[in-house]
Chain A
Amino acid sequence: MTPTTRSAPSLAARAASRATNTSERGSGSRNGRRRAVGLTASALAAALALAACGGGGGDGDTGGTGGGGEGGGTVTVWHYFSDDNQVRLMDEFAAKFEGEREGVTVENVYVPYDEMNSKVIAAAGSQTGPDVVVFNGAETATLALAGALAPLDDYWADYEDAGQFPDSVIHQVEDQTYAVQGYVNLLGLWYNAEILAEIGVEPPTTIEELEDAMAAATDAGYSGITLCGLPQGQGEWQAYPWLSAEGFTYDAPDAAALEAGLARVRGWVESGWLSQQAVTWDQTVPFQEFAAGGVAFAENGNWQMGTAESDARFEYGVVPLPLGADGQVYLGGEGQGIGAYSQNPDLAWEYLTATYLDAEGQLLPVEIVGSIPSRSDAAQDEMVTGNELLQPFAETIETYGANYPSPAIPPESVGDVQLTVGQAWSAALGGQQSPADAAQNVVGQLERLGG
């Protein structure tokens, strides 16, 4: 590939993220860390503001800047969506692009989630593969290091709307951009409004209030909370908010903070607020348990809106996770990249700019699956700001939003770190290890992995 021309926005974004890192690493004090979080938030706010001025005119036109507008062609898109709404979204994206570009066909190919990475990597080994890959953004490093993704820097440098995208949705590996997210998914605290009304508490804003509410709910014969305790990446993703609330970060892993986080949630198990069964739950089952009723809270994502609407026979709501001053919530979601062996990368880029990256296109996931647009102009659309359930998530992005995975983790070690922390989380919740042992173990491993 050609040497990259580094674009101004991505440089600025990286500078911002580096600033965050150094300030966090520099000062172990709570004060310093609080400032660091504030910095992330203000960087995000700045991006939002910047977008608000610059993005106004860009709404109407489609991003046809990628050049190479010759006739037809096929764009093959590999994705792992099988949920009805998400499949519909893929179809709508295909229809949108096909409607705007005559003679072009979009082929959406489903690949099971667990097979996505190995299939993309195997295909790259045989010098073949899709034009566009829609994958778990956190796995960018794996795919990029395996040479399965094409660097996007050239396209990104010429992309006029690049400034609309906050740093956290642009995935860079070793100074090259490989994927951008069209939307953000993140965790919030779902609550069963009827149970809260019955036990007479307001949706919690601090962790103490949450614990009091769970205790009251359990006394009234309900369960306190459901969450994912699986010993893998999903577990780490759900553990991180609680661990970071006690001051744990990957920049300067502190065993005491980690132990405090693990011990707190293990305490929920011991108090009977959280079923120990959580260690067998992925992210789906605990929400289905919540939606079946009888559980006061669920730590789960914005993508569960459809399930909540169809399955929950009670009033419910969402508030940001009550994480105090230090807490962080990962900004997850699917990354969209171009396959390294795409026959027609220009067309693939045009597909991305017409769908995932387009201001109007970004409103489709909002409407269909309840994701939060990554563009700041789209994020200010009525559809987002006027949605009661989305609002707390948007608020979370501002207050707690954190890059996923943490930039402090070296790209090769992302999978390793997630598994290690996920296993410790599960071991502590399931009583296989004491929080102290689990924390010691993790910090030891993190040191070895150069975190």
Chain B
Amino acid sequence: MTSQLAPTAAQSARAATGGRRRGRGVSQRRVRLLFLAPAALFLLLFSLFPLLQLLRMSVSAVTARTLNAEWLFTGLENFRRSFDGGEGTDALLRTGIFVLVVTTLGMLLGLAAAIALRTRGRWSAALLALMVFVWALPPVVNGSVWKFLLGDRGLFNMIVLELGLRDSPMPFLYSQYWALMSVAFVNSFAVIPFNALVFRAALMNIPPETFEAAALDGVNKWQEVRHVMLPSVRPTTLVLLVLTLVYGFRSFDFIYVMTYGGPGTATNTLPFLGYLQAFARYDFGLGAATSVVTVLGVLILAAVYARSIRREEAES
């Protein structure tokens, strides 16, 4: 389809190069929208139905009994139930803290890693490979490893106890205050390699001349980062920010492996709560409502993203 239409469009584009700039812009734009066709078609076929089902589920009473039968429309009942007991509100608050930690650590250390690993050399290459290797390990492996490392007889407590900093082990995973921080840390750990890799790819796209020019101006390292690198990777930073936020908002694997939301409910974030509601309590409607709330939360952030993109486009 695209290949048939493209030449005609190009002809008209060529015809337009002479005078009518505006006409050419419109037709080019149409052609470029055709580039979206495969993705639109594919996602329409395989992603839209699940999305609609999720939305429909969130406003229906769906339990194990009715999942494979007719769903009864109940309006906003699921949302009301989710927030009535305080369960949803608590989870929302925890999710906020969790996402904040994951995003901050993930973005800062990701960028720091990318800058540090920009240098050539064996150490950088090996370290990057190591990070990607760890990133690609399944959560059950990474989560279990950290569960051991953060346990009473794990490495960190061994150090803490040997150094005499404390006389009892740090309750990394079983104190209600520490547990959320620990899982957030491990989630950041898991997202840093990804962010580093993408930041690095963006940094490498900066033409060497830019750095040379900066060097001639006699900028120091920090100024180079601040005034050369950061502005150049701004579009990547924005998209990574969104992806990291999304990652934080939907992450539940590590919580599942490391704490199962515990102790008690101390690490029940929204995605994990949604999982529990749908697959431990078999209240699929309630679980779907929780997921929809999470999606809405992210959409608000996405609107901010869209605005900054528009600003970025206005600038360019």
Q: Report chain A residues within 8 Å CB of B171.
A: 276
A439 to B234, CA, bound (A): 52
Closest A residue by C-beta to B69: A147
A275 to B280, CA, bound (A): 26
Q: What 0/1 pattern do residues 158 to 194 of A give for CB contact below 8 A with B?
A: 0000000000000000000000000000000000000
Nearest Cβ in chain A — how far from B254, in angstroms?
Answer: 12
Q: Which of B158-166, B186-194, B262-270 contacts A (4 or more CB under 8 A)?
A: B262-270
The A-B contact count (CB < 8 A) is 107
Please determine whether B263 and A427 come into contact, CB atoms closer than 8 angstroms: yes
Nearest Cβ in chain A — how far from B224, in angstroms?
Answer: 44
Contact of A432 among B69, B263, B282 (CB under 8 A): B263
A159 to B31, CA, bound (A): 70
Give residues of chain B (48-81) contacting chain A, Cβ–Cβ below 8 Å: 63-65, 67-69
Closest A residue by C-beta to B176: A432
Contact of B260 among A143, A232, A427 (CB under 8 A): A232
| Count of chain A residues near B, Cβ 8 A | 39
- Does B174 lie at the interface of the complex (its beta carbon under 8 Å from any beta carbon of A)? yes
Please determine whether B264 and A145 come into contact, CB atoms closer than 8 angstroms: no
Q: Report chain A residues within 8 Å CB of B282.
A: 142, 412, 415-416
Q: Report chain A residues within 8 Å CB of B261.
A: 231-232, 423
Q: Report chain A residues within 8 Å CB of B69.
A: 147
Known: A280-B147, A432-B176. A231 touches B64 (CB 8 A): no
- Does A451 lie at the interface of the complex (its beta carbon under 8 Å from any beta carbon of B)? no
Closest B residue by C-beta to A125: B68
Known: A125-B68, A280-B147. A426 touches B279 (CB 8 A): no
Q: Report chain A residues within 8 Å CB of B265.
A: 231, 423, 427, 432
Please determine whether A415 and B280 come into contact, CB atoms closer than 8 angstroms: yes
Q: Report chain B residues within 8 Å CB of A432.
A: 176, 262-266
Q: Report chain B residues within 8 Å CB of A146.
A: 64-65, 67-68
Q: Which of A20-28, A49-57, A116-124, A200-208 contacts B (4 or more CB under 8 A)?
A: A116-124
Q: Report chain A residues within 8 Å CB of B262.
A: 229-231, 279-280, 423, 426-427, 430, 432
- Does B111 lie at the interface of the complex (its beta carbon under 8 Å from any beta carbon of A)? no
Q: Report, as a range, how many residues of chain B touch the other chain.
A: 20 to 34
Closest B residue by C-beta to A233: B280
- Does A419 lie at the interface of the complex (its beta carbon under 8 Å from any beta carbon of B)? yes
A124 to B66, CA, bound (A): 12
Closest B residue by C-beta to A126: B68
Please determine whether A231 and B68 come into contact, CB atoms closer than 8 angstroms: no
Give residues of chain B (165-187) contacting chain A, Cβ–Cβ below 8 Å: 171, 173-176
- Does A433 lie at the interface of the complex (its beta carbon under 8 Å from any beta carbon of B)? yes
Q: Report chain A residues within 8 Å CB of B258.
A: 280
Q: What 0/1 pattern do residues 97 to 126 of A give for CB contact below 8 A with B?
A: 000000000000000000001100100110
A232 to B262, CA, bound (A): 9
Please determine whether A427 and B264 come into contact, CB atoms closer than 8 angstroms: yes
Q: Report chain B residues within 8 Å CB of A278.
A: 174
Q: What 0/1 pattern do residues 136 to 161 of B give for CB contact below 8 A with A?
A: 00000000000100011000000000
Closest B residue by C-beta to A121: B67
Q: Report chain A residues within 8 Å CB of B290.
A: none
Give residues of chain B (24-46) contacting chain A, Cβ–Cβ below 8 Å: none
Please determine whether B263 and A275 come into contact, CB atoms closer than 8 angstroms: no
Q: Report chain A residues within 8 Å CB of B173.
A: 277, 280
Known: A277-B152, A412-B63. A426 touches B276 (CB 8 A): no
Q: Report chain B residues within 8 Å CB of A428.
A: 264
A241 to B280, CA, bound (A): 22
Known: A146-B65, A419-B276. A276 touches B283 (CB 8 A): no
Please determine whether A431 and B64 come into contact, CB atoms closer than 8 angstroms: no
Contact of B281 among A141, A147, A415 (CB under 8 A): A415
- Does A424 lie at the interface of the complex (its beta carbon under 8 Å from any beta carbon of B)? yes
A416 to B279, CA, bound (A): 10
Known: A145-B65, A277-B173, A280-B258. A430 touches B263 (CB 8 A): yes
Closest B residue by C-beta to A276: B174
- Does B259 lie at the interface of the complex (its beta carbon under 8 Å from any beta carbon of A)? yes
A428 to B276, CA, bound (A): 20
Closest A residue by C-beta to B169: A277
Q: Report chain B residues within 8 Å CB of A125.
A: 67-68
- Does A429 lie at the interface of the complex (its beta carbon under 8 Å from any beta carbon of B)? yes
Q: Report chain B residues within 8 Å CB of A426.
A: 262-264
Please determine whether B264 and A275 come into contact, CB atoms closer than 8 angstroms: no
Nearest Cβ in chain B — how far from A34, in angstroms?
Answer: 32
Contact of A145 among B63, B151, B174, B259 (CB under 8 A): B63
Nearest Cβ in chain A — how far from B103, in angstroms?
Answer: 25
Please determine whether B263 and A117 come into contact, CB atoms closer than 8 angstroms: no
Q: Report chain B residues within 8 Å CB of A430.
A: 174-176, 262-264, 266
Nearest Cβ in chain B — how far from A425, in angstroms?
Answer: 9
A278 to B260, CA, bound (A): 12
Q: What 0/1 pattern do residues 428 to 443 of A give for CB contact below 8 A with B?
A: 1111110000100000
A residues apposed to B, CB below 8 Å: 117-118, 121, 124-125, 141-143, 145-148, 229-233, 275-280, 412, 415-416, 418-419, 423-424, 426-433, 438
Closest 5 CB pairs of A and B: A430-B263, A427-B264, A432-B264, A231-B262, A145-B65
A280-B263, A419-B280 given; 12 more Cβ-contact pairs under 8 Å: A146-B65, A147-B68, A229-B262, A233-B280, A279-B259, A280-B258, A415-B280, A416-B281, A423-B262, A426-B262, A426-B263, A426-B264
CB<8 Å pairs between A and B, sample of 23: A125-B67, A142-B282, A143-B64, A145-B65, A146-B64, A146-B65, A146-B68, A233-B280, A276-B171, A276-B174, A276-B175, A277-B173, A277-B174, A278-B174, A279-B259, A426-B264, A427-B265, A427-B266, A430-B175, A430-B176, A432-B176, A432-B262, A432-B264
